[in-house]
Amino acid sequence: MRRYERIAEDIGSLIRRGVLPVGQRAPSARAISLSHGVSLGTALRAYELLVDRGFIEALPRSGYYVSSLWRATAEPIAASHPSGASRTVGAHPIVFELFDAARDAAIVPFGSPFISPDLCPLERLARCLRVRASTQMQHPNWIEDLPPGNGELREYIGTRYAHAGAAVSPDEIVLTSGGMEALYLALRAACSHGDLVAIESPAFYGCMQALEVLGLRAVEVPTHPQHGIDIGALTDIIQRKSVRACWLMPTFHNPTGALMPDANKRELARVLARHEIALIEDAAYEELYFGAHRPKPVKAYDTKGLVLHCGSFSKSLSPGYRLGWLAAGRYAQDARRIKTAVTIATCFLVQQAVALYLQRFSYERHLRVLRKTLQTRQLTMLQGVQRYLSGNCRVTRPQGGYYLWVELPEYVDAVKLYRDALASGVSVAPGPIFSVRSEFTHCIRLNCSYPWNATTESAMQTLGELVARCSKSEGVVRQTRPAAA
C-alpha cells in the first residue's frame, strides 16, 4: 500500500467509526501533511482518494467536510443465488418499453442504456462522415471493406488490444453493426440450437434476447455485484452440465458495474481452457475505466483461442454509428462467414468515417476526458441517491462504466416503481429485466452518464418519494406477495 493510500485508509477508518462525524470539517491537507510527516502533494492525493470513496467532500473556499456518501456504498450488496436450473429464456417486455422511453425527450433517462450524447464527439464524427460521403462514397472502393471489414480500423483495434495486454491479430477481428451484432455472431459461431450457455445473474437483457432468438438455453451463475461471477460455482455447473459456452461481462458488468479481479479472470480462462468451453466476453464498457490502468480482458489470458471478445464504439464514441467488432479467436472464419450471410457487410460509410476520426483526432484524449467526466457524474448521482433514497438502499460504486445498481428494501416492487416513475416522467431500469426468472424484484439500474441539473435532481427526489410511499404500504405488499418457491 502506498503512503497516501495508508493515510486515506486511516482517515476513512476514523470516519467509519464515527470519530470524525458526518458534517464535521476534516483537518486541512496541510495539517495532515504536518501530522503524518509527508509532502503536501501526498496529503492531497490521500484526500483525493477519500473524496473518490465518498468519505469527504470538498466545499469551494471552505475546505473538506466529512460526507455520508460512503454509507450507501459501504455495505456491499450480496452475491446472487440463482437456482442452477437450465432454462429457455426470453426478453422481458419492459426492455422494449425502455427503448420507447429513451426516445421521449421529456422523460428523465435514468433507465436508458445510452450514454449521454453530450459526451460523444458528435461534431467531429459528423465532419468525418461528410468528408467520407463526398470522397469515398462517390469513388467507391468499398469492396475493400467487405468482411472482415476496414483494414485500418482492424489494425487500430488490434493495437488497442496490445495496450490492454492481449495479443490479437487484425485477422481475427470482424467489424460489426454495433456490439450487439458481435455478440450475436459470437453465439452463432460457438453454439448450436439447443446448447446450454452459462450467464451471470443478473445478466444483460440483450444476452437473454440473443439466446432466445437462437434457441439456446441458459444456466445462471451466482454473481457478486463487485467481483463478478463465482468461479467455484461456475466450475461446479460445468462439471454437472454440458455447458457449451459462457456469456459474461467481466469488466464493468451491466447492470451491476462489477469488475472481476485479474486473478479471477486468469482463473476463469484456465477453467474454460481445461473444459474447452468458449467464452463470449461482452466488453462494451471496457474503455470506461476510472482507475490509472485499463483492466485486462479475459482475452489476455486465453491460450487456446476460446475467447470471442466483443467490443463496441457505442459507449465511447457514439451509439448512433452502430459500429462494433468481434475478435473471435479460433472462431474467426466462422464469424466472418456468418457475418456475410446475415448482413453482407457493416455499413461502409460508417467504417470509413470512424477510421477517419481515429486518424485525425486523438481517441485517447477524448477517452481521458470522458472517463473523468463519467467518474464525476457517478459521484454526483451517488450523492443524489444518498440524499433522496438515503437509509432505504444500498448501491454499487463501480470503478467504470455508467450504471449504478441500487438495491431497495425487499418490499419495494421495482416493476411498480418503474411504472409509477414513468408516469411521473422518470425512467428507471427495473431489476427483473436482468433475470431469466424475473428476480431482483427490489433492484433498479440507474444511468449516471447524464449531466446533473435541476431536472435530474428533481427526478431523483421523485424516486425517493415513490420509494418512501412503498414503505408506507409495506404491510399490504408483504401480505399480497406469494411465498418464495
Closest CB to ligand PLP among residues 45, 322: 322
Closest CB to ligand PLP among residues 11, 207: 207
**Is the Cβ–Cβ distance between 327 and 299 less than 8 Å?**
yes
Work out whether 284 is an interface residue with ligand PLP (CB under 6 A): yes
- Residue of 282, 287, 407, 439 interacting with ligand PLP (CB under 6 A): 282
- Residue of 64, 70, 204, 247 interacting with ligand PLP (CB under 6 A): 204
Binding window for ligand PLP (CB under 6 A); candidates: 23-31, 129-137, 175-183, 298-306: 175-183
Q: How many residues bind ligand PLP (CB under 6 A)?
A: 14
Closest CB to ligand PLP among residues 64, 247: 247
Work out whether 256 is an interface residue with ligand PLP (CB under 6 A): no
Q: How far is the CB of 399 from ligand PLP (least distance, A)?
A: 16
Binding window for ligand PLP (CB under 6 A); candidates: 155-163, 176-184, 359-367, 368-376: 176-184
Closest CB to ligand PLP among residues 282, 439: 282
Q: How far is the CB of 118 from ligand PLP (least distance, A)?
A: 18
Q: Which of residues 15-34 bind ligand PLP (CB under 6 A)?
A: none
Query: Grid coordinates standing for 412?
Result: 419495494
**Is the Cβ–Cβ distance between 119 and 449 less than 8 Å?**
yes
> What span, in angstroms and rounded, lies between the C-alpha atoms of 94 and 362?
38
Closest CB to ligand PLP among residues 73, 314: 314
Binding window for ligand PLP (CB under 6 A); candidates: 41-49, 177-185, 226-234, 407-415: 177-185
Work out whether 308 is an interface residue with ligand PLP (CB under 6 A): no
- Residue of 166, 180, 208, 460 interacting with ligand PLP (CB under 6 A): 180
Closest CB to ligand PLP among residues 33, 378: 378
Q: How far is the CB of 178 from ligand PLP (least distance, A)?
A: 3
- Residue of 121, 148, 178, 228 interacting with ligand PLP (CB under 6 A): 178
Q: How far is the CB of 314 from ligand PLP (least distance, A)?
A: 3
Closest CB to ligand PLP among residues 8, 284: 284
Closest CB to ligand PLP among residues 314, 383: 314
Q: How far is the CB of 163 from ligand PLP (least distance, A)?
A: 21
Chain residues that interact with ligand PLP, rule: CB under 6 A: 113, 178-180, 204, 206, 249, 254, 282, 284, 312, 314, 319, 324
